[in-house]
């Protein structure tokens, strides 16, 4: 859910100290379970040989794929490649209007 929100509705940027911040907290809402289709989660347990107990993180990995999947879906549907977040409907419309 967090990754979906960050890729499509939350506008984040860099401040002068290079720390991420949200430019605008109004008008944006994180997505909830009612906004997304059912997701089947499958955990594959493969021990990490670099960790003394073989532990691996499970929360960080799912953050990466959704923005790329959304960008590829928009590209496949429109021919426009989006390279900035958020990929909101307005950003998609702007990209369509400004394509060469």
60 is catalytic: yes
Q: Which position among 20, 45, 60, 100 bears the catalytic label?
A: 60
Task: For residues 88 and 9, give the distance between their C-alpha atoms in angstroms, rounded to a whole number.
Answer: 6
49/78 Cα distance (integer angstroms):
43
* Residues marked as catalytic: 60
């Amino acid at each position: 859910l967090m990754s979906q929100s960050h890729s499509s509705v939350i506008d984040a940027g860099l401040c002068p100290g290079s720390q991420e911040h949200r430019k605008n907290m109004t008008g944006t809402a994180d997505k909830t379970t009612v906004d997304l289709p059912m997701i089947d989660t499958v955990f594959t347990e493969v021990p990490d040989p670099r960790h003394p107990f073989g532990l691996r993180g499970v929360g960080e990995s799912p953050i990466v794929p959704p923005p790329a999947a959304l960008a590829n879906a928009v590209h496949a549907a429109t021919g426009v490649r989006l390279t900035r977040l958020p990929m909101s409907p307005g950003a998609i419309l702007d990209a369509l209007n400004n394509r060469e």
